[in-house]
Structure 1
Amino acid sequence: MALLWSKISGLLPINEAQFPLEFGDKVESSVLDLLKRSRQQLYSETASAYCMLNAQIILDISWEKLNKGTWRHVEKEWRRVYSYGCLFKVLALCHEDPSPEVIQQAIRTCDMGLLMGAAIMDNILQALVQILHCEVRKATREEDQTVHIYTKKMKIECPPAPLIKPTMAVPRIHCPSLESFKTNYLLPLEPVILEGIIDHWPALSNHPWSIEYLRSVAGCRTVPVEVGSRYTDEEWSQTLITVNEFIDRYILSKDEVKALGYLAQHQLFDQIPELKEDICIPDYCCLGEGDDDNITINAWFGPGGTVSPLHQDPQQNFLAQVVGRKYIRLYSPEHTEKLYPHPTQLLHNTSQVEVESPDEELFPEFVKAPYLECVLQPGDVLFIPVLHWHYVRSLQLSFSVSFWWS
């Protein structure tokens, strides 16, 4: 473990004077004093227990700030304070011959900083978690092989796909030119399935995404998960668990538990660069107004039966199917009144109707709204035009990646 600390300490500035702690007046002087004390302890012979105590105080104070009011009103300075608290805690945990359990705790602390904090010191928490994750993967190589053998034998149910009438099917086109896509689909805002445009992704070719692969590159990482079959259900909730726990509890479990694992925005790919390297932003996104930094990448991973209720999004969307199949239904925004959006501001972009079993007495106009539908297969990319209503149901274990762009 001395080698582990050597790798970790190699990420730090060589002395206290070069360790940056610059904050504006939003952060109280008492908190800044705590941060400076932690920095001083780091470069002295202070016992880890005292370093841990000080780090936890910083985390407790900043956590209270992060959870006061709505997230968009949280000062970035306090998110940076939280990240520093996570950094000091990880360093205290790893300084004195950490056990495998303590290393797992350190990884979770890094992930919390990456999820809730803001980047500090050239994103040092990301560099730290990569070192710690490599240590875990070395220590559990035999266990991973056992899991690989077990999951290889898992039979994932493959129910028959819904019958799609040709007159209602989303059209398919193979590798259109940029100009053809722009003229025929982007400008008129027409849905289309693009075939052959992601066949080169490592996620589909070099090392196809599977339960075994996800365990190996992300199993011990803590991620945000939405629990419940759909976000409009009363029992729907959010939690933070490891990818391994999610797989064991909701993917491989034989219980009749259904959960939607939605790793919001691009957090999964920011946390786990190995997965981000397995995908590429579709070339067609260059037809938008912004650059790659303005494209939001979302990960969708969950068992069969999970549902995204009929809803609309304020941006263009490429939905790329990597694993499994999904049934999708699309409605043009011109038929919004027939789709009965929720009256509340929070869910105004979501329909009240159960798409595949509508209550015709409550929502009589819904059955009159025309729609297109499809079954998205691995390698397919569905273009969902801005504000087009879409309903999604996973037919089996599924992993999709969506790209939101303007």
Structure 2
Amino acid sequence: MAGSAGLWEEVRALLPDSEEELSLALSGEVDDCVPPLLLRARALLYGAAPPCEAALRRLGDVVRDYAWEKLNAGPWRDVGKAWRQVYAYGCLFGALAEVAARRPLEPAVRLCDMGLLMGASVQNDVLARLVRLLQAHLPRAERRSAAPGGAKVPPRARTEPPPAPAVRPEDAVPHERCPSLERFRDQYLIPQKPVVLEGIIDHWPCMKKWSVDYVCQVAGCRTVPVELGSRYTDEEWSQKLMTVNDFISQYIVNEPECVGYLAQHQLFDQIPELKEDISIPDYCCLGEGEEDDITINAWFGPAGTISPLHQDPQQNFLAQVFGRKYIRLYSPQDSENLYPHESQLLHNTSQVDVEDPDLTKFPNFRKAAFQSCILMPGQVLFIPVKYWHYVRSLDISFSVSFWWS
């Protein structure tokens, strides 16, 4: 649906009442030519109502293009927060121009998402508030449609999945149903032993609500980063920005040879509707950090997606919402037998293909003892810090992980 005068008033209400209150303060230095551009765009917003959308769009384009060069000039860790804020303002001005012009809202939603992904928070997270408002005004069909031709995506539809690997009883990760905090701490957290927890997420709304179609409803129009390739160590692995609808259509519904995977650290910040359907496991209170220090990740993709054997620097709860995953775990004590990559970039990742190891090249791999499990919907796997883990999706799968210290 194109924007309307009424929508512009709703959008305008998200901004401060006066021009001076929209401070445009930046957390650092930027080139001298940038502040005048931001001030001109701000003046347009607080001039005519609605503003001159053509001029506002041009300024948004210039600000984004200029900031984009700075964001891509070197390693991401070296990008100053001020330039990310400039990019966010460019996205904000561009999105507002689209609404003021009463154009279809999809480009404005994409601009908000780009600002959320690549920018930094400005004006009390105005981009997050704006995109939520715009999404509510999209026609329902455009929020739901992911299959070719606009057909509704059947929840969890797929051909017969491949058989799951056998898990021998002597190698199986132990299961516990709703252990007390004290028991979890004493039996698993302190000794750093993996365990599959049952019954602790049965109350999550997502366990009854989430499906492929529900993800389309809630997030179909949103732009997210997608990993292309069955595993991140493959030479052909890459990343691409696309809408959730396009991702589901291209990599879930049609089951192509190329594997696409939505592995997102920001998804729940981008789309609060999804975050409202989950909650942080109570056991995280046993950690040393605050709740805000817990990183929540989304993992959504088709069968056949693989996370190579790797280790993470924090404790991990991996919660399975739908689909199944085969997981194999190795103790940090076996690190030398797992042949980590020598490069700094992949030093936390093994060179060994766990399910088809080259024992001539990696002979000591056979010495490494492992545990394994098939993680089923409603189960949560505790992966201790630095524990090596290999993950293969057996079905269309949505998992949520919590990294905590």
Q: TM-score range by the shorter chain?
A: over 0.9
Mapped pair 1:248 → 2:249: yes
Query: What is the 5 A alignment of 1:192-203?
Result: 192-203=195-206
Determine the structure 1 residue equivalent to 2:138: 136
Preserved contact between residue 319 and residue 382 of structure 1 (Cα < 8 Å): yes
Query: What is the 5 A alignment of 1:29-40?
Result: 29-40=32-43
Preserved contact between residue 156 and residue 211 of structure 2 (Cα < 8 Å): no
Q: Distance in 2 between the 1:134 and 1:262 partners?
A: 25
Mapped pair 1:283 → 2:282: yes
Determine the structure 2 residue equivalent to 1:76: 81
Determine the structure 2 residue equivalent to 1:270: 269
Range with bigger deviation, 167-176 or 24-33: 24-33
Deviation, 1:73, is 1.5
Deviations 1:192-212 (A, max 9, x none): 00000000000103x2x1111
Preserved contact between residue 230 and residue 260 of structure 1 (Cα < 8 Å): no
Preserved contact between residue 251 and residue 302 of structure 1 (Cα < 8 Å): yes
1:204 aligned counterpart, secondary structure? helix
Determine the structure 1 residue equivalent to 2:305: 306
Determine the structure 1 residue equivalent to 2:227: 226
Cα 1:61–1:165, aligned 2, differ >3 Å: closer, same or farther?
A: same
Q: Distance in 2 between the 1:272 and 1:359 partners?
A: 42
Q: Distance in 2 between the 1:372 and 1:88 partners?
A: 52
Which residue identity is paired with 2:189? L
Preserved contact between residue 173 and residue 196 of structure 2 (Cα < 8 Å): yes
Deviations 1:253-289 (A, max 9, x none): 14322222211x2x00000000000100000000000
Mapped pair 1:91 → 2:96: yes
Query: What is the 5 A alignment of 1:269-348?
Result: 269-348=268-347
Preserved contact between residue 260 and residue 307 of structure 1 (Cα < 8 Å): no
Q: Distance in 2 between the 1:248 and 1:139 partners?
A: 15
Q: Distance in 2 between the 1:144 and 1:253 partners?
A: 11
51, 54, 57: which one aligns with 1:52: 57
Runs of 4+ with >6 A deviation: none
Which residue identity is paired with 1:132? L
Deviations 1:325-356 (A, max 9, x none): 00000000111111011111111110001100
2:65 aligned counterpart, secondary structure? helix
Cα 1:281–1:150, aligned 2, differ >3 Å: closer, same or farther?
A: closer
Q: Distance in 1 between the 2:207 and 2:239 partners?
A: 29
Deviation, 1:28, is 2.8
Determine the structure 2 residue equivalent to 1:215: 216
Preserved contact between residue 168 and residue 373 of structure 1 (Cα < 8 Å): yes
Cα 1:269–1:375, aligned 2, differ >3 Å: closer, same or farther?
A: same
Unaligned runs of 5+ in 1: none
- Identity, % of aligned positions: 57
159, 163, 178: which one aligns with 2:162: 159
Relative to the length of structure 2, the TM-score reads 0.95
Deviation, 1:5, is 0.9
Deviation, 1:44, is 1.9
Which residue identity is paired with 1:285? C
Preserved contact between residue 323 and residue 377 of structure 2 (Cα < 8 Å): yes
Determine the structure 2 residue equivalent to 1:116: 118
Cα 1:243–1:360, aligned 2, differ >3 Å: closer, same or farther?
A: same
Which residue identity is paired with 1:34? L
Mapped pair 1:64 → 2:69: yes
Deviation, 1:15, is 2.5
Deviation, 1:147, is 5.6
Q: Distance in 2 between the 1:65 and 1:138 partners?
A: 37
181, 186, 190: which one aligns with 1:187: 190
Relative to the length of structure 1, the TM-score reads 0.94
Deviation, 1:149, is 4.7
**What do you get for the CA RMSD once the two structures are aligned?**
1.8
Determine the structure 2 residue equivalent to 1:239: 240
1:220 aligned counterpart, secondary structure? coil
Range with bigger deviation, 151-160 or 376-385: 151-160
Q: Distance in 1 between the 2:154 and 2:161 partners?
A: 16
